[in-house]
Structure 1
Amino acid sequence: MWRLFKRFFASKQKETFETEERKHNPFNLDLGTRSGFEAKQLLETVTQPERLKMYADAVRRLPMPSALWDEYQRLSRAGASNRKLSSIIKGDPVLSAQILKVVNAPAFGLRKPIVDLNRAISHLGNNLVRSIVAKHCFSQVIPQMRGAYNLTDLWKHGMAVSALAEVVSKHIPKCEAKTAAAIGLFHDIGRMGLNFVKTERQPIMFNHEKGILVHEAERFGCTHVEVGCIFAEHWNLPEKIQQGILWHHHPGAADKQVVPESIRAEVFAVYIADLLAKHLEFSGGNASKTLPHESYAPLLPKTTLYDLMQNKTISKELWRINCIDF
């Protein structure tokens, strides 16, 4: 009798679990309730090889970022103390002043100003400090050209997606938060390269059905994903960041099996972070929004996009970064 009861109880548990699993709809965000628009992210683009070569040649003529970036990355990966990190940053007075300016902004709610770089790093957190260091180092080697995209807005959008990806990663099984944050920071860096060549075609009306990648291919002859991969390779960014740049649009259009398993969770975290940043009207990203492909639903087992949008940490991070004045 006891064995029969155990079997019955187990079957009911399984049935309840399967029912709840079927009911769980993580992608429950109404994309029409805010600014921007819902669009299809079709991946089939027609690249013009000669134009892509123009952008590639322009990128490859850029110098490498300062040695400070490599040293900071090395120490950060090794888990160095804030004191050690601050000793590296102190070698660049402009960067040091920038970090102190950020930490003392009203958005960070200090009662007394912080004048010590070590304390500033501790208060801002490693992810935000890394974003500021990256923006400082890479901005020195990226020409400040007027073009289709505003560079300051792009950096702030990358910083926002980086911060949100770190938050979102906690809800995705086996997702490496640091990797997701790093991909988030650089995911749209290719847009900066699309400013380099002034011989773009005449402006083309955005077609919602085709999506942003097709629009870029028609306007520039290539996409920011392709140019971003050239940037990442030229600057020897880690392999996972290169892969993240390559795949960061795929969760909105294709089955999850298309993205390599080794980077899938992190790419998904970045995609959600980017979607939330745009839906919460943070400037810098493209205006089109697309829910993730249904195959990604199991990667968000215990929360939903709507719940994440209501997350106070998400709102706080966006507000803090929006208040940063470069």
Structure 2
Amino acid sequence: MAKAINMAVVEQALSGFTIPPQPGVLLAIKAEIESDDPNIHRIAELINQDVGIAGFTLKVVNSVYFGLRRKVSSVEHACKYLGLNRVIKLVSSVVLRFTLSQGKTDRFTTALWHSATQVANAAMLIAQQLRLGSDTVDDAYSLGLFHNAGMALIAGQFPDYAKVLKQGLQQGHSVPESEQQHFETSHELLGYMIAQSWGLAPELANVIAYHHSPALMLVSDDLYEKRLFALLKLAEHMTEENRILLESDQDPEWQQYKTTLLDLLELDELSLHDLGDYLAQHEVPNCYHH
């Protein structure tokens, strides 16, 4: 696995920030799923308690990514289609988005969740196309949605957050470097604490903690972590995350490590155009298909 997290560093990064707890509805859904005889009708009832969560769950299930021949019209049908394990992953991600957004409609917050959705869908589709298995597909989707969750916490406290990051990129500084210099924290560590608090798999939490540290992630002895990391980085690159979030065409991490990342996924640069076409067919805009 990736290098052990230094909790003293995490505690320092948390200074002044509150990790949002899991809402009662999510805890109740988890409890029902983990019971000896989970009741899918009860799970659907719990999801339906929050119209925003219910609506977004249906929107995702009815999207082109799941390729349903007929639209699902109820949360109960969605639960039956997805299965219990996938329901909790999807609903957790949906709830996190609503919890961190808290009704904010500023440009950066809007861009943040738009980008997270694009990266999640791209990572999921790439894992599907590479036939990496349903667990990897699901984890890639969750990782895409959660990886920048810490940004929402910092942006909520510092209105100039996006501006600082843009200026840092222009001056050749990485995002974590700019965050440490100006805000004395890191969205990677905050994201790690959110992932830990919300019960994400350890592999996902580790990748979130180090997703701007390719030199560390790529020497991990955990192949699954490295593969998830490569999926995330490829999805970020293909969906042009920096352009969406920070209006920047610079992607220094990809440029420096793309050969190693592609090797992990048994891909070459020529195959990215075919992947771009595949993403476009599933309505995911990307830099290889304009």
| Equivalence map 1:58-207=2 (5 Å) | 58-60=17-19, 62-68=20-26, 71=29, 75=33, 86-100=44-58, 115-119=73-77, 133-142=91-100, 144=102, 150-170=108-128, 171=130, 176-198=136-158, 203=164, 205-207=167-169
Q: Which has the larger radius of gyration?
A: 1
1:257 aligns with 2:202: no
**Aligned in 2, Cα 1:149/1:236: closer, same or farther, shift over 3 Å?**
farther
8 Å Cα contact 2:148-2:187 kept in structure 1: yes
Aligned twin of 2:288: none
- Among all aligned residue pairs of Structure 1 and Structure 2, give the percentage whose two residues are the same amino acid: 18
Within 5 Å, give how 1:10-25 maps onto structure 2.
none
> TM-score of the superposition, structure 2-length normalised?
0.67
Residue in 1 that maps onto 2:187:
224
SS, match of residue 318 in structure 1: coil
Alpha carbons of 1:94 and 1:215: their partners in 2 closer, same or farther (altered >3 Å)?
Answer: closer
Matching residue's letter, 1:63? P
Q: 1:58 to 1:262 in 2, by over 3 A?
A: same
CA RMSD of aligned residues (A): 4.6
Task: Give the number of aligned pairs.
Answer: 265
Equivalent residues of 2:148, 2:188 under 8 A apart:
yes
Change (3 A) 1:176 1:116: closer
Are the equivalent residues in 1 in contact too, given 2:115–2:245 (CA < 8 A)? yes
- Distance of aligned partners of 1:312 and 1:139 in 2 relative to their CA distance in 1, 3 Å threshold: closer
TM-score, L = length of structure 1: 0.61
Q: Relative contact order (alpha carbons < 8 A, sep ≥ 6): 1 or 2 greater? A: 1
CA distance in 2 between partners of 1:86 and 1:315 (Å)? 31
Native 8 Å contact 1:165 1:272 kept in 2: yes
The Cα offsets for residues 255-290 of structure 1, whole Å up to 9 and x where unpaired, read as 721474341111111111111111796x34773322
Q: Given the superposition, is the C-alpha separation of residues 157 and 128 from structure 1 closer, same or farther in structure 2, using an over 3 Å criterion?
A: farther
Measured in 2, the distance between the counterparts of 1:257 and 1:114 equals 43
Q: Distance in 2 between matches of 1:258 and 1:106?
A: 34
Structure with the bigger percentage of helix: 2
Give 1:85 shift: 5.5
Cα deviations by residue, 1:73-118 (Å, 9 ceiling, x for unpaired): 9749x9x898775454234344334445667799999999753334
Distance 1:179 1:102 in 2: 16
Unmatched 5+ stretches in structure 2: 1-8, 286-290
What is the aligned counterpart of 2:264 among 288, 299, 307? 299
Structure 1: state its 5+ residue gaps. 1-48, 320-326
